[in-house]
Chains A and B, each alone.
Chain A
Amino acid sequence: MKYDLEKIFLVIVFGALLWAGAANLWDYRLNHEFPYGLLASDAFQHQARAEGIKLNGNYRYEPFYISGGFKDAIGFYAPVMYHLGIVFSYISGLETWDSVYLLVFIFGCLIAMIMYLIIKGFNKNVAILSIPLAILIFSSKSGGASPGPYAGFTWGVWPAYIGNFFLISVFWLMANFDLKKSYLLLAVFLSGLALAHTSEFVFAVLFIAIYLAADFFFTKKLDLGKFKKLAYAAGIFAAISAYYLVIFKFTYIDTQPPYSFLIERVTPDPALYLSGFGVILIFIITGLIFSLFFLKKNFLPIIAGMFMLAIGAGNYYGLGRHAFRVRTLWPIYLSIFFGLTLYQTGKFLVKKWKTAYSVGIGMVFLLLFIGLFNAPFVPHYEKMSTPGMMDIYHWNILNWFKDNTNEDSVVYFLYGDIYGQNALLRNAKRTHYLVNTQDYTNAINDKIIKRRYASRLGGDSAGVFYAYRRGLFSYGYHYTEEFNSTSAKIIDLCDMDYYVIDRVSRQPVIAQYNTIIKDVLVKNEFIEEVYSNEVSSIVRNNKPGQDCIPNEGVRLE
């Protein structure tokens, strides 16, 4: 029976990537009762927004509980990831917290596959030898104090992976720009990029400029046909993307601080430092040097790797978090240099090199990188399996509100261990406040139940200031106009409709204090507990505005 070694190898690599990325983390299940394996607020931000768009049926506006209660805040986040996740959710039957997350992992694997195609255009054996390095996008070690690349998935840097998927598609397209009507594909990929994660769009434009310069340098010809194609692509791109780009301009661009040159050597966010490659760095540096001799033969795969190395090093010239995010994909972008070193070394030893040799060596490195066997100073994947920040009890608390309260109800969250990752509170699907931890602990130390606590209005305020549209090119900002640019408020507990009161905490004194507050509240005949489980209670105030705690508070013995 005839078989294609290359294709079998690619299926194995794809399976290994999915195993390392998703299967282990997710306890080998696709369906979960609650958002599973999410480890930070940003992940819940995307999960809650996807669910909100699904419920609304469109992304005209932000779900109001994400925008501080405002129902006219424009849907501002790049929409492609959410729409793909929701469409996939409906057809697959998976909840959005699984469907969106699964797509992020699959797109991460596909970035590796497209890089394979790009490198294959250079040399098939180099491509086979390169791709195993991609496993390291799921490694937990950064080579420094930062969390490793895998945290990019678990902490919620999701749109960047979708963006990089389209970015690398642009790289592939430029390597195949001679295709008839290639401008159609370029327009589609650029539009996908702009509407998935707009910062990578800037990288794409820069890369195209570098590609044209390199093309001219190596061919000594100025191909006007390529410029014509670019013009067509730009026109189609503008037509497709204009609507969203206007929103992007009046939200992100107008509300974010301007670019400032800043060197950031380290980050608390997911990253990968060159030292994180361990001894593999020698292969990469050697391959980088080798590649200089092949630039004239086929420059695009090589300059793609060099380009992303330079972008990843952008933390030294002001790119900040955008640079660190690219670094988490360095195992893919720099893989060509790794593969080139292996191939050149192999060819030096074995003159008649066969694909089977590449596959064999590729399998060895694949097993090494997934950690089946360890070697000193060789980075490898380490299994992570965790339900994440959420648990079924808190999930049931959050989901209770959707079916049991009016849409205009306001919920107040007392301290809870997981509530610091406050985007998860948006799953209550109600306007909500969270108590300020410092003010809360001060009250505990002062042994007083206060009527008013410093609190924070829940929502995605710092992003785009709850922008709303006045006209096609005219926007207002609720955050600055009505909130004076702060979501911090002093909240009178007696004004709230509902309270979520955790009775379990890693800090027993806080759990005790929570319980005392609950007891004080329910002493009022118009306040009652309406739901309870092992970790938390929901208490309803049937007369918000009426005195429920004395103005001077309640002193504790």
Chain B
Amino acid sequence: MKKELTEKLKKESLSILILFLVIIIMFKILFYKEGFLAVLRAVFALFWVFVLPGFYLMYYWHEQLEFMVRLIIGIAVSSAIIGIASYYLGLLGLNIMYHGIILPAACLIAGFFIIYKEGKEK
């Protein structure tokens, strides 16, 4: 079962990468007057802050929810967790300039931990 989860993780991560490339192309077409590097950075930021954290956290439900559902709902999960956590971290004294690195990374670590636990339990 662990091998199945690893294969699934690889396949879906590849799908995320393909989607990343598709969105870059989409953004470059839509915002064609913008330089490529600016577009790349904006799309990277969208994936780093909104897509990846939630998607990997949603692996907790990978057996019950299909890829597309976990991707889209994962954006809502990322948004809520990072938005709320950023607010409280700011109140506690950590300048918001650091939140964009720390919070998505923390969510990703939590997500990979969930995947590890899921694989171990099976």
Contact = CB atoms under 8 A, between A and B. Distances in A.
Interface string A51-71: 001100111100000000000
B84 A195 contact: yes
A84 B30 contact: no
A83 B65 contact: no
Contacts of B27: 30
Contacts of B103: 87
A80 interface: yes
B30 A19 contact: yes
B91 A84 contact: no
Contacts of B30: 15, 18-19, 22-23, 28
Interface string B76-95: 11011111101110110101
Interface string B12-55: 00000000001000110111111000110110111011100000
Interface in A164-190: 165-166, 169, 172, 176, 179-181, 185, 188-189
B72 A113 contact: yes
A57 B84 CA distance: 15
Given A28-B33, A30-B31, A195 B95 contact: no
A86 B45 CA distance: 11
Given A29-B34, A59-B87, A83-B87, A90 B97 contact: yes
Interface in B60-119: 60-61, 64-65, 68-69, 72-73, 75-77, 79-84, 86-88, 90-91, 93, 95-97, 99-101, 103
Contacts of A407: none
B97 A88 contact: no
Contacts of B91: 58-60, 243
Nearest to A107: B79
B61 to A, nearest CB: 6
B87 A169 contact: no
A93 B44 CA distance: 11
Contacts of A271: none
Contacts of A15: 26, 29-30
A483 to B, nearest CB: 27
Contacts of B46: 88, 92, 106
Interface in A72-93: 79-81, 83-84, 86-88, 90-93
A110 interface: yes
A83 B38 contact: no
Given A29-B31, A90-B97, A80 B26 contact: no
B84 A240 contact: yes
Contacts of A88: 45-46, 49-50, 100
Given A29-B31, A83-B90, A195-B84, A94 B42 contact: yes
In this complex, the member of A30, A113, A172 whose beta carbon has the largest number of chain B beta carbons within 10 angstroms is A30
Contact of A28 (B32, B45, B87): B32
A7 B68 contact: yes
In this complex, the member of B41, B42, B80, B99 whose beta carbon has the largest number of chain A beta carbons within 10 angstroms is B80
Given A83-B90, A179-B61, A31 B80 contact: no
In this complex, the member of B32, B72, B84, B88 whose beta carbon has the largest number of chain A beta carbons within 10 angstroms is B84
B90 A57 contact: yes
A180 B33 CA distance: 46
A52 B86 CA distance: 15
A326 interface: no
Nearest to A114: B72
Nearest to A181: B60
Contacts of A417: none
A131 interface: no
B84 to A, nearest CB: 6
Nearest to B32: A28
Contacts of B39: 30
Contacts of B83: 79-81, 83-84, 192, 195-196
Contacts of A185: 73, 77
Nearest to A26: B31
A102 B86 CA distance: 19
Nearest to A188: B80
Contacts of A87: 49, 82, 86, 96, 99-100, 103
Interface in A1-50: 7, 10-11, 14-15, 18-19, 22-23, 26-31
A356 B29 CA distance: 26
A180 B64 contact: yes
A191 interface: yes
B79 A80 contact: yes
Contact of B48 (A54, A91, A106, A240): A91
Nearest to A165: B76
In this complex, the member of B31, B69, B91, B101 whose beta carbon has the largest number of chain A beta carbons within 10 angstroms is B31
A33 to B, nearest CB: 13
Interface of B: 22, 26-27, 29-34, 38-39, 41-42, 44-46, 48-50, 60-61, 64-65, 68-69, 72-73, 75-77, 79-84, 86-88, 90-91, 93, 95-97, 99-101, 103
Given A83-B86, A117-B68, A165-B76, 7 more contacts: A15-B26, A57-B97, A86-B86, A87-B99, A166-B80, A181-B60, A192-B76
4 closest A-B pairs by beta carbon, nearest first, are A192-B80, A58-B90, A80-B83, A92-B45
24 contacts: A22-B30, A30-B38, A30-B42, A58-B93, A58-B95, A59-B87, A80-B83, A81-B83, A83-B96, A86-B86, A87-B100, A92-B42, A92-B44, A92-B46, A107-B79, A110-B72, A110-B76, A117-B69, A117-B72, A176-B65, A185-B73, A188-B77, A192-B76, A240-B84
